[in-house]
Amino acid sequence: MRMKRALLALLLLAGCSHPRPVLYPDERLKASGEEAAKADVDLCLGEAKAYLKANPAKRVARRTARGGVFGAVLGAVFGAFTGNYRRAVAEGAAVGAAAGLLHGAYEAGSPDEIQRAYTQRCLAEKGWSVIGWK
Q: Tell me, yes or no, if the pTM score tops 0.75.
A: no
Q: What is the pLDDT at residue 10? A: 42
Query: What is the C-alpha separation between 44 and 117, in angstroms, rounded?
Result: 11
Query: What is the C-alpha separation between 21 and 48, in angstroms, rounded?
Result: 13
Residue closest to 128 by CA, chosen among 43, 18, 17, 19: 43
pLDDT per 10-residue tile (average), the chain, 134 residues: 45 61 95 96 94 64 70 70 74 73 62 85 96 94
Decide: 117 and 92 in contact? Cβ < 8 Å.
Answer: no
Residue closest to 93 by CA, chosen among 107, 75, 117, 119: 75
